[in-house]
Structure 1
Amino acid sequence: MERGSDAILATERYGSQERWSYRLKDGRMEREREGEERRGTAASLMSVFKSVFLPQGYPESVSEDYIQYQFWDTVQAFSSSLSGTLATQASLRGVGVGDREATVAAATITWILRDGTGMLGRILFAWVKGSKLDCDAKKWRLFADVLNDFAMFIEIVAPAFPACFTLIICIAGVFKSLVGVAGGATRAALTVHQARRDNMADVSAKDGSQETLVNMAGLLVSLLLIPVVTDNSVLTFALFFLFTSLHLFANYWAVRSVIMETLNQARLSILTHQYLLDGRVLTPALANHREPVFPEFSSSVPVRLGVRLGEVVDSPEELQLALKNNDNRYLIGVKQGAVCVCLGRGVSVQEEVRSVFQVQCLRAVLSSHCPLGGAVGALRESWTQADARDLWGLVSESHKRIDRIFPAFFTGLKEAGWQTDRTLLDWDEWRADWGKKTD
């Protein structure tokens, strides 16, 4: 290569954001940024902003739904910050700030009682619902934000009831403690989903930076807001409901924007029903858009996963019935109107998915209002023609039919982009061993 030529010797890039080239100029190798002549001050500031508030390697290092979720999360955090300011002002007024007759001891006792009841609530909620938060992160994320708004509303109205102020504040403290557990746990679950390069710590840290920036903006607005709303209850309530409405709206769209590729019970149910209808396996985007984000308080046929063996079979005869036509490491039984699954030790992820797929088919058969054709329609027809009380016969027949349709369904899951090496199904920890079926 001749001296003084402008030939490119090598190129490099920093993620997908920056590209550099090494050129030979006057016998020396010089490094230049591609497009540097078009790079202005605004672009430089944007680059600094991204490096401070976005994970390293963005957008390749995070999930595709990251930026949409973070946008709505920012909106909800800002509105929640303003609502929290109004609630804090009401709480301080309730404990006697500005009242000459109020004592420091009384205010301190109120605050201690509020924090103490909140701590107990946090422990109890984590004990009762801790294992459910991973499985339905979207629902519990939205639940936490709705409960947080309700707790702040209680704090705002508490000063109007001075005789019950301490009790009301303690109730609000319990609600906020539940919010802390559910919100923090589900945020961690969503962070695991967003981190695509084992960079959960970086994603979590940058999320914290974003939230801190939003809270700083909320504090500045609050400084202007407090003098306006002080001693004006009507304006306080009007602004609170405005900010709360914005908060709930943003939270709803935040959880709706999340597209998780891991199977939980709700998403697998949606996939199963669609597959039984027309043989299609929905993509993660389509299934997530159909996933309910509000708690469902009723179910025509309840499902219980990972139960004790005694909740599936009551006798050696029932054990043999449960093993009929069943070569899997799980047992299914219909007890007291619920479909129960007992797992054997060493069960694979594929068998876990298969068992819930089979459970959804059984639920469709047992639910007369669910008009499904294909294998489930044939299973329902054969069961109706036989003794409708023979639930073990239904389970046995379902094993044979699932043997024929599940392999294609599981292959379709992989092709559609679903994770099939792990699940978020709501399994309890019971595992059992049973003898081999006798012919």
Structure 2
Amino acid sequence: MGRDWRHHLLGEERRGNVPQEIQSPIMAVPAAPTLCSERFGSQPPRLYVGAAGGRLVGQHEDTGRMSSSLSSTLSSVFLPQGYPDSVSADYLPYQLWDTVQAFASTITGALATQAVLKGVGVGDGSASVAAASLTWMLKDGTGMIGRILFAWMKGTHLDRDAKQWRLFADLLNDIAIFIEILAPFFPAIFTLVVCVSCIFKAVVGVSGGATRAALTSHQARRDNMADVSAKDGSQETLVNLAGLCTGLLLTPLAADSTLLTYLLFFLFTSLHIYANVRAVRSVVMETVNRGRLRILLEDFLREGAVPSPPSVNAREPLLPVLWEREQLIMGAPLHRVVGSTYELKKATENNTKNYLLGVHKKKGEVCVSLREGSGSLDVLQAAFHAELLFLILNHDLSEFPVEHRKLTDLQRNARAEMDDRQWGLVSDTHCVMDELWTPLLRGVSSNGWDTRREQLGKEEWRGRWGLVKWE
């Protein structure tokens, strides 16, 4: 009966005999109100409406559902959950350039592997299995020793200058690959050459792995470091697979052509270096390290304003300093700051801060002793104070505005002062720092810098002073 009525109504509607107010009953039904909604990360919201039987039904757009589903699947496989909100803003450009450099490195690595295998005797009927095995074991052994020594010598620097050591690792990897490609042309010292190459690659492994962890920590913004790291591994595996397939095509072509081998090496190495520079430049770290500290302070003194993280990151050095002696020692033991009761009195009088400063003018060295319980703001203030002393002792201050003429006067007095420890200068800069610190900290905090953490490479010494009153 009901079905016949609906057919009759539709027939009358076609003939125009149905009143307008009851025409198209489906169109006349008002849209159901949204009862609740949800959102997955930054994706469009899903709306829920009530349905028959009191059920909640999610509303989906039909348009582009297949492409959206494919995009969501690829995102879940290769990107961290919640992307892009769960990672830093520089995540995508860094990963894109990192993908390019990984692809290029895979190709050059395949060329190097071919050269090393040829050098140890693969394909040579007169080659000794024992000699090849010995060469391989010596190569691996020297690499292990190199890994331990580098971690001991530079391990504490990798957090401080993660971007610089990341680029250094990739450049050193290119050098190691080039050495391996050249190795077969020096059969008399082949073992020595591949051992040197393996030492370089061991340094690459330590430096690259440690800085990758530091960069992952920077990119993970929702305590999701493991997820970001896992998806980075998936991306790298996919790229290495693509590079492997390309290498399978190119390596046989270059097997008997030295010219083509070198041409492919220099082509992909150039791409590798360029992509690495772009990747490192795309990273914007909000923590203060020593390179960024100097730019921050100089800009603040020169312009009266604190620059933003993107501005500072674009100007910091690309490569680390390998052999230069440390001139700013943060968290130094007390004996490097003060050497006598007189110097201890000079360092602590009229000083209510949680750090002590000591200058060695002849060495060009500033040592900072941190008090037990000092926090990140204390460390930042101590570092800015120490950098201010460096500027006064070692740089031309004439370019700074007139309001900082007091710094020029301090510099003139310091150069006339014969005392290597410069206690008068240290005391005077405490007064200058008291004036500068509040506006400097306000500018640092308001411009997006992270003041809860710092990457200044401080040592672990912490002191206690003020235990007696000086007469």
TM-score interval, smaller chain = over 0.9
Quote the residue 2:43 is aligned against: 17
Structure 2 residue 36 is matched with structure 1 residue 7: no
Match of 2:346 among 313, 316, 321: 321
Amino acid of the structure 1 residue aligned with 2:408: R
Q: Aligned partners of 1:238 and 1:170: how far apart in 2?
A: 25
Aligned-residue offset at 1:299: 7.5
- Aligned-residue offset at 1:304: 2.0
RMSD, aligned CA: 2.1
Q: Report the TM-score, using the length of structure 1 for normalisation.
A: 0.95
Instruction: Find the aligned partners of 2:73 and 2:374 in 1 and give their Cα distance.
Output: 49
Q: TM-score, normalising length from structure 2? A: 0.88
CA distance in 2, matches of 1:95, 1:380: 64
SS of 1:256's equivalent in the other structure is helix
Query: 2: distance between equivalents of 1:226 and 1:383?
Result: 62
In 2, Cα distance between equivalents of 1:145 and 1:21 = 48
Deviation at 1:51, TM superposition (A): 0.8
> What residue is the counterpart of 1:340 in the other structure?
367
Deviating more after overlay: 214-223 vs 383-392: 383-392
1:388 matched to which residue of 2?
417
Distance 1:202 1:301 in 2: 36
Q: Which moved more, 1:227-236 or 1:422-431?
A: 422-431
Residue 375 of structure 1, CA deviation = 6.3
CA deviation after TM superposition for structure 1 residue 117, in Å: 0.5
Query: 1:15-414 maps to which residues of 2 (within 5 A)?
Result: 15-27=41-53, 29=55, 31-34=57-60, 36-296=61-321, 302-335=327-360, 336-371=363-398, 372-373=400-401, 376-385=404-413, 387-390=416-419, 391-414=422-445
1:419 maps to amino acid:
D
1:78–1:217 Cα contact (<8 Å) kept: yes
Contact kept, 8 Å, 2:393 with 2:411, in 1: the verdict is: no
Q: Which has the larger radius of gyration?
A: 2
Contact 2:161 2:320 in 1 (8 A): no
Letter of the aligned partner of 2:406 in structure 1?
A: A
Give the secondary-structure state (helix, strand or coil) at the position aligned to 1:37.
Answer: coil
Which one of 410, 418, 436 corresponds to residue 449 of structure 2? 418
**Mapped contact 2:116–2:184 kept (Cα < 8 A):** yes
User: How big is the shift at 1:307?
Assistant: 1.6
Is 1:435 aligned to 2:463, yes or no? Answer: no
Once the two structures are overlaid, the 10-residue window that deviates more, 48-57 or 407-416, is: 407-416
Residues of 2 paired with 1:171 and 1:399: CA distance?
Answer: 50
SS at match of 1:9: strand
Opposite residue 176 of structure 1, the aligned amino acid is K
SS in 1 for 2:250: helix
Give the match's secondary structure for 1:290. Answer: coil
Deviations 1:89-137 (A, max 9, x none): 0000000010000121111111111100100110111111111100000
Unmatched tracts of structure 1, length 5 or more: none
1:34-77 Cα shifts (integer Å, max 9, x gaps): 4x222143332222111100000000000000001000000000
Q: Is the 8 A contact 1:330 1:344 kept in 2?
A: yes
Gaps of 5+ in 2: 1-27
How many aligned positions are there? Answer: 437
Identity of aligned residues (%): 51
